[in-house]
C-alpha cells in the first residue's frame, strides 16, 4: 500500500518538505484512545506517542493529533513503535465544543472528504440535530451526506416524508438503508471511492458500527442488541480509521450526546443556504432576522415559505456559536496572559 492509497494527495505533498525529517517518515493517525495513538504508513500500523518537544509546544487540545491527521514520525524497535514529531496542516476537519462547561474545541477527525450523518428513521430522527451536524461539516469544509437507517421500522410513505423534509432544508445526498434487509447498501458502496476518507457521525445507537460491518461483509466490530424500542445501544468507544477492501477509508466515531458549536459562523450560513438566500431581500444588510422591519426571512416564516422550526434553529445555532466563540477568545487571552506571567517569573528566577 502506498501513502497515496491512504489519502496522501498533492495538497499534503506540498507541505512535506516543511515537516519531514531526515530520520523520519510520513504516517496517518488511524486511532486515538486517551492520549495513545496508532499510526499507519505503507508498511502497516504501529503504536505511537508524542515527543516531549511536541507535547511542550502544544498550546491547545486542538493542536493534538486526531484521527485522519498526517504526521511525521520516527520509528524504533525494528519499526514496531514510533514517536510523532509534527502534525501536517489540516485540509478539512470536524470539530465541536468539548462536553461540559469548559469552552474548548474538540477535534473529531481531520482530512475528511465526506461525512455520513447517520439518523435512525425511528426515535432518533431529529431535523434540528441534523442542522447541527450539517453546520459542523460546513464549518470544516466537509461534504455532508445524510444516511437514514432502520428504514424497515417505518412505512414507505413515512420514509418519503422524512426524505422530503430533509430535501426542503438541505441540498445534500440522502441514502436510505436497512441493515436488517440490506436495502440501500449497494448504493452506499457505490458512493465510496478508493483513496477517499469518510466519517460516520450520529447519536449512540443509530447503527454506525452495524453499517461498517455491512460494508466490510463480516462482524468485524462488536455491536449490542437493540433495545425494546427497536433502537441500538452505544458500542464504539474510540475513533478509528478503517481501510475497506475496495480502498475507501471510514472513520467510526462514538455517539455524541452533546453537539455544541464554537465559532462556526460561516458554517451556520452554509448550513442554512435557504435562509441566506432569503436574507438578500432584507431591508438592512446587517439584519438579524429577529425584530427588524423589512426582514424577508420573517416574512417568509409568516407566509409559510420558511418553517418556524427552521428559523428558530438558525437563530439558536448562530447565537450559540457567537456566544461560545466570545467565551473561547476570552479564555485564550487569559491563558496567554498567564503563560507570559509564568515565563516572566522563570526569567526573574534565573536572573
State the SS3 of the chain: CCHHHHCCCHHHHHHHHHHCCCCCEEEEEEEEECCEEEEECCCCEEEEEECHHHHHHCCCHHHCCCCCCEEEEEEECCCCEEEEEEECCCCCEEEEECCCCCCCEEEEEECCCEEEEEEECCCCCCHHHHHHHHHHHHHCCCEEEEEEECHHHCCHHHHHHHHHHHHHHCCCEEEECCCCCCCCHHHHHHHCCCCCEEEEEECCCCCHHHHHHHHHCCCCCCCCCCCCCCCCCCCCCCEEEEECCCCCEEEECCCCCCCCCCCCHHHHHHHCHHHHHHHCCCCCCCCCCCCCCCCHHHHHHHHCCCCHHHHHHHHHHHHHHHHHHHHHHHHHHHHHHHHHHHHHHHHHHHC
Q: Please, which residues have CB within 8 angstroms of residue 229's CB and are 6 or more apart in sequence?
A: 122, 123
Phi/psi class of residue 47: alpha, beta or left (left: φ > 0; alpha: ψ in -120 to 50)? beta
**Spatial separation of the C-alpha atoms in residues 138 and 147, rounded to whole Å:** 17
Neighbours of 139 (CB within 10 A): 24
- Residue 12's closest CA among 94, 98, 97, 90? 90
Q: Tell me if 313 sits within 8 A of 128, measured CB to CB.
A: yes
Q: Please, which residues have CB within 8 angstroms of residue 50's CB and are 6 or more apart in sequence?
A: 37, 58, 64, 65, 83, 84
- In angstroms, how far is CA 169 from the centroid of its own chain? 20
**Spatial separation of the C-alpha atoms in residues 265 and 270, rounded to whole Å:** 9
What domains lie within the chain, and their CATH numbers? 3-87 (2.40.50.140), 93-252 (3.40.50.300), 265-341 (1.10.40.50)
What pLDDT, on a 0 to 100 scale, did the predictor assign at position 332? 61
Query: Residues in the chain with pLDDT < 70?
Result: 22, 99-103, 218-237, 255, 257-258, 262-264, 328, 330-351
What pLDDT, on a 0 to 100 scale, did the predictor assign at position 348? 57
Amino acid at each position: 500500500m502506498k501513502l497515496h492509497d491512504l489519502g496522501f494527495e498533492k495538497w499534503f505533498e506540498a507541505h512535506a518538505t516543511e515537516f519531514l525529517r531526515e530520520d523520519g517518515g510520513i504516517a496517518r493517525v488511524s486511532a486515538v484512545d486517551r492520549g495513545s495513538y496508532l499510526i499507519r504508513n505503507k508498511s502497516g500500523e504501529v503504536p505511537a506517542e508524542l515527543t516531549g518537544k511536541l507535547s511542550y509546544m502544544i498550546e491547545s487540545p486542538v493542536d493534538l493529533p486526531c484521527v485522519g491527521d498526517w504526521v511525521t514520525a520516527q520509528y524504533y524497535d525494528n519499526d514496531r513503535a514510533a514517536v510523532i514529531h509534527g502534525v501536517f496542516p489540516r485540509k478539512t476537519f470536524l470539530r465541536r465544543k468539548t462536553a461540559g462547561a469548559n469552552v474548548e474545541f474538540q477535534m473529531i477527525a481531520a482530512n475528511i472528504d465526506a461525512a455520513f450523518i447517520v439518523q435512525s428513521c425511528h426515535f432518533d430522527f431529529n431535523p434540528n440535530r441534523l442542522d447541527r451536524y450539517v453546520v459542523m461539516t460546513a464549518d470544516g469544509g466537509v461534504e455532508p451526506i445524510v444516511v437514514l437507517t432502520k428504514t424497515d421500522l417505518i412505512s414507505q410513505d413515512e420514509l418519503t416524508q422524512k426524505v422530503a423534509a430533509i430535501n426542503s432544508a438541505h441540498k445534500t445526498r440522502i441514502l436510505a438503508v436497512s441493515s436488517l434487509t440490506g436495502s440501500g447498501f449497494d448504493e452506499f458502496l457505490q458512493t465510496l471511492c478508493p483513496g477517499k476518507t469518510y466519517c460516520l457521525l450520529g447519536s449512540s445507537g443509530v447503527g454506525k458500527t452495524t453499517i461498517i460491518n455491512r460494508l466490510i461483509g463480516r462482524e468485524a466490530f462488536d455491536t449490542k442488541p437493540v433495545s425494546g424500542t427497536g433502537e441500538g445501544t452505544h458500542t464504539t468507544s474510540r475513533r478509528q480509521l478503517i481501510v475497506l477492501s475496495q480502498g475507501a477509508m471510514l472513520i467510526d466515531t462514538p455517539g455524541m450526546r452533546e453537539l455544541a458549536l464554537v465559532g462556526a459562523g460561516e458554517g451556520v450560513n452554509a448550513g442554512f443556504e435557504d435562509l441566506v438566500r432569503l436574507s438578500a431581500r432584507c431591508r438592512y444588510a446587517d439584519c438579524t432576522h429577529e425584530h427588524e422591519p423589512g426582514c424577508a426571512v420573517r416574512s417568509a416564516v409568516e407566509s409559510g415559505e420558511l418553517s418556524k422550526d427552521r428559523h428558530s434553529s438558525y437563530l439558536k445555532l448562530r447565537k450559540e456559536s457567537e456566544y461560545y466563540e466570545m467565551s473561547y477568545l476570552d479564555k485564550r487571552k487569559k491563558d496567554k496572559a498567564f503563560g507570559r506571567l509564568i515565563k516572566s517569573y522563570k526569567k526573574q528566577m534565573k536572573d
